[in-house]
Chain A
Amino acid sequence: MSKAILLDFTKCIGCRACEKACAEEHRLPDDPPTDKLNYKNYTVVLQRGNQYFRKMCMHCQTPVCVSVCPVAALEKTSDGPVIYYPDKCMGCRYCMMACPFQIPKYEWEKPVPVIRKCIMCNKRVAEGLETACAWVCPTAATRFGDREKLIQIAERRFATFPGKYVEYLYGKNEVGGTSVIMLSGIPFEEMGFRMDLGTTALPELTWTVMSKIPNVVMTGGILLGGISWIIHRRMQIDQEAHSHDKDHGNGKGGGK
């Protein structure tokens, strides 16, 4: 059963306990910016109108970052978190480039930088605990649990509190579904969440091309080999015929 986080922004009171718990859990620097994500924080609480909301890694069901990483430094565990192995990473930043939510951040100022992003407290989750942010949240605005159950809970709230929510469960289907799903009282665009991401898992876009490669190599190799053999054989025959004729013209050759 894959785990997930349900964020109900209407319940968030902006106490930032999640930020602090996260920083402690992952030994993050003391001086993170509070207005945006960067390498010093894994999550940030922001405000739009009179609603607070959180930004963090969405832990996609079929993560783009995992699919694009040339050295498999990112991994989607069976529990749900998308985790990162800094020792494998070579720093190409294709994950940053490809992430539709622009989540992975980089330590630009360090001589040997690594990628930083929320890893959904994968150690805690493996031990059967909640994530630090969900555990600390006083209003259950951040809730941890099985993805299927959380989706049910979320969708029931639409019916229970009519008019309270924009009736859209963000992350249920975005880019094939994410392990962080969100409820909001104001439209998601207003908080900077993209509504145009579609529901297909993005890795399929490149996999349709990538999966053809063995075929291209085989067919191409045989084709090129064959063409070259035929042409060279013909030239050889041509040359032999010429040397029998003894009156071959020089220079001009084929063409005109």
Chain B
Amino acid sequence: MNAVLTAVRHEIDGMNWKRKAAWVVVIFLLLQGLFLTGKRFIFGLGAVTNLTDEFPWGMWISFDVVGGVALAAGGFTLCFLVYVIGYHKFHDIVRPTVLTAFLGYVLVAVGLLYDLGKYYNVWHPMIMWNPHSVMFEVAWCVMLYLTVLFLEFVPVVLEKFKLVKPLKTLQKFTIPLVIAGVLLSTLHQSSLGSVFLIVPEKLHPLWYTPILPLLFFLSAVVVGPAMVIVESELSARVFRRGLELNILSELAKYLQVALFVYVGLKIQDFFVRKVVDQVFTMHYESLFMLLELGLLVGAMVILAFPKMRTNSRGLFWAGSLVVIGILLNRFNVSWIGMQRGSGATYMPALSEIGVSLFLVTAGALVFYFVCRFFPIFPAISEEDTERIESLKSRKEKRLSAQVVK
């Protein structure tokens, strides 16, 4: 115990004020989250949410579940590229991505527990079947995919504790596991779109289209690598490690192609369903649709410049725009576009946002500690070390400049 405390004290002493402030925020978010969790499970959904009979799905479905599943799509896209079609250049970022996907899905599952009225019945789809229900299929896929992600991640733990034998056995199953993961992801990513096929009378025609499942799947393929880029940037800063810039630039090329396909299909779909004029009515829904498209087009413009594509700031911006754009798409389908048809308006309560922030914070924290204690990131290469050195010297110069002032 004492040793831990000493280590923690040592850790805190070594932090600059920015890190200390960040930890204060993290701890605050955790505490308010614990408080809200208690409130939710003691007093029920009505006590912490703005949900109503007219609008029964809110922030926790839009963000924690529908959004969360999309943002965790990096796992299957990258594993597909690396293991199925043998694009080994991305090998070094597979581990952090699989870890993110795994934690992402765990968060989705936990978030779902908050949202389910009878959360203790969450396992019921296992024995009470209804193959007609899209939700039934999503439930099964997510359960199975969580298992797959767990098995994809376990080698890291086995490696750390040098358990060679189970590690070798598991590695033999890498490719079948990855293929299972890709299939399961294809199914449930698209099915989250199918979930909304059943509400033609409620979902706004800008978003309601028979190809919703296809659009959901493609947008997952788009946002997966974007999320990998954003995360790599963030974790590079947090862990003060080098950035795999050449890998990420390569990934950005792939992202660009995926974006073209997705945005192209979306626009073509407007024409096919003859709703092009509705995109520009400048009503509530039209503005959200334009924003959604604008964010993605913005990313496409940034990525069109090779200079931006090979530059860490450019990549970060493009990645963030895509992440926000696709997240907004999920919000639009499950929330913004549903309001008029349901005859209700919905704004999440502060406590709903609080719980979502709590879950994200908890996830990030687990990610942080797993990365510190397990071999997640590749050993730093030479060029990365150079980059870090140059960063350090730049910082020193800046500091000395301040002193001169």
A contact set with B: CB distance below 8 Å: 37-39, 64, 67-73, 88-94, 96-98, 100, 102, 105-114, 194, 196-198, 202-203, 205-207, 209-210, 213, 216-217, 220-221, 224-225, 227-228, 231-232, 235, 253, 255
A217 to B140, CA, bound (A): 14
Given the contacts A91-B121, A97-B57, A69 and B213 also touching, CB distance less than 8 Å? no
CB distance from B360 to the nearest CB of A (A): 22
Question: Which A-chain residue is minimally distant from B44 (CB atoms)?
Answer: A111
Given known pairs A108-B45, A216-B186, A235-B86, the reply for A207 and B117 (CB within 8 Å) is no
> Which partner residue on chain A sits nearest B49 by CB separation?
A108
Question: How many pairs of residues, A versus B, come closer than 8 Å at their CB atoms?
Answer: 173
Range for the number of chain B residues in contact with chain A: 35 or more
* Minimal beta-carbon separation of B221 from chain A (angstroms): 14
The CA of A16 and the CA of B128, in the complex, are separated in Å by 39
Give the docked Cα–Cα distance between A89 and B136 (Å).
Answer: 12
A90 nearest CB across to chain B (Å): 4
Q: Are A209 and B183 touching (Cβ within 8 A)?
A: no
C-alpha gap A70/B80 in the complex (Å): 29
Q: Tell whether, in the assembled complex, residue B128 and residue A72 are in contact, meaning their CB atoms are under 8 Å apart.
A: yes
Set of chain A residues within 8 Å of B187, measured between Cβ atoms: 213, 216-217
Q: Which residues of A contact B179 (CB under 8 A)?
A: 221, 224-225, 228
A114-B117, A207-B132 are known contacts. Are A88 and B56 too (CB-CB below 8 A)?
no
Decide: A108 near B121, CB < 8 A? Known: A68-B198, A228-B83. Answer: no
Q: From the candidates B43, B54, B56, B137, name the one contacting A111 in the complex (CB within 8 A).
A: B43
Query: When the two chains form the complex, which single residue of A105, A196, A224 contacts B84, counting CB atoms closer than 8 Å?
Result: A224
Q: CB < 8 Å: which of B45, B46, B86, B197 contacts A232?
A: B86
Q: Is B245 an interface residue (CB 8 A)?
A: no
Chain B contacts for A198, CB-based, 8 A? 200
What's the least CB distance linking A207 to chain B, in Å? 6
Contacting residues, chain A, for B80 (C-beta < 8 A): 224
CA A98 to CA B197, docked complex, whole Å: 9
Q: Could you say which of A72, A106, A113, A221 contacts B130, with CB atoms under 8 Å apart? A: A72
Q: Which residues of B contact A (CB under 8 A)?
A: 41-47, 49, 51-54, 56-57, 80, 83-86, 89, 115-119, 121-122, 124-125, 128-139, 175-176, 179, 182-183, 186-187, 190-191, 194-195, 197-202, 213, 342-343
Question: Given A94-B135, A98-B198, does the pair A110, B44 have CB atoms closer than 8 Å?
Answer: yes
- Residues on B with beta carbons closer than 8 Å to the beta carbon of A207: 132
How far is the CB of A252 from the nearest CB of chain B, in Å? 11
**In the complex, what residues of B have CB within 8 A of residue A109's CB?**
44, 46-47
B78 to chain A, nearest CB (A): 15
**What residues on B are CB-neighbors of A203 within 8 Å?**
132, 198
Is A72 within 8 A of B43, CB to CB? no
A68 to B54, CA, bound (A): 17
Q: How far is the CB of A25 from chain B (nearest CB, A)?
A: 22
Q: How far is the CA of A91 from the CA of B343 in the complex (A)?
A: 22
> In the assembly, what is the distance between CA of A156 and CA of B175, in Å?
67
**Residue pair A205, B197 in contact (C-beta under 8 Å):** yes
Q: Find out whether the CB atom of B119 lies under 8 angstroms from the CB atom of A108.
A: no
Known: A64-B198, A105-B53, A197-B201. A112 touches B133 (CB 8 A): no
Q: Complex formed: what's the CA distance from A90 to B125 in Å?
A: 9
Partner of B117, one of A64, A93, A206, A235: A93
B168: min CB distance to chain A, Å? 18
In the bound assembly, the distance between CA atoms of A147 and B198 in angstroms comes to: 26
Cβ distance B246 to chain A, nearest Cβ, rounded Å: 11
Question: How many angstroms from the CA of A255 to the CA of B122 in the assembled complex?
Answer: 48
In the bound complex, how far is the Cα of B117 from the Cα of A91, in angstroms? 4
Q: Are B116's CB and A228's CB within 8 A?
A: no
Instruction: State in angstroms the CA–CA spacing of A70 and B191 once bound together.
Output: 13
- Give which listed residue, B57, B85, B139, contacts A70 with CB less than 8 A: B139
* Chain B residue nearest to A231 in the complex (CB): B86
Among B89, B124, B132, B343, the residue within 8 A (CB) of A90 is B124
Contact with A202, one of B46, B122, B198, B342 (Cβ below 8 angstroms): B198
Residues of B within 8 A of A67 (CB): 130, 132-133, 198
Contact B131 A210 (CB under 8 A): yes
User: Which residues in B have their C-beta under 8 angstroms from that of A253?
Assistant: 89
Given contacts A72-B133, A206-B132, A206-B198, 5 further A-B contacts (CB under 8 A): A67-B198, A71-B125, A92-B116, A100-B202, A108-B53
Q: Tell me if A92 and B135 are in contact (CB < 8 A).
A: yes
- Point out the residues of chain A lying under 8 angstroms from B46, CB to CB: 108-110
Given contacts A70-B130, A108-B51, contact A90 B197 (CB under 8 A): no
B121, A88: Cβ atoms closer than 8 Å = yes
Chain A residues with Cβ under 8 A from B43's Cβ?
A: 111
Residues of A within 8 A of B130 (CB): 67, 69-72
What are 29 A-B contacts defined by CB distance under 8 Å?
Answer: A68-B135, A69-B135, A70-B139, A89-B121, A91-B118, A92-B115, A92-B117, A94-B135, A96-B53, A106-B53, A106-B56, A108-B49, A109-B46, A111-B41, A112-B118, A202-B200, A206-B194, A206-B198, A207-B132, A210-B137, A213-B137, A220-B186, A224-B84, A224-B183, A225-B179, A227-B85, A231-B84, A231-B85, A232-B175
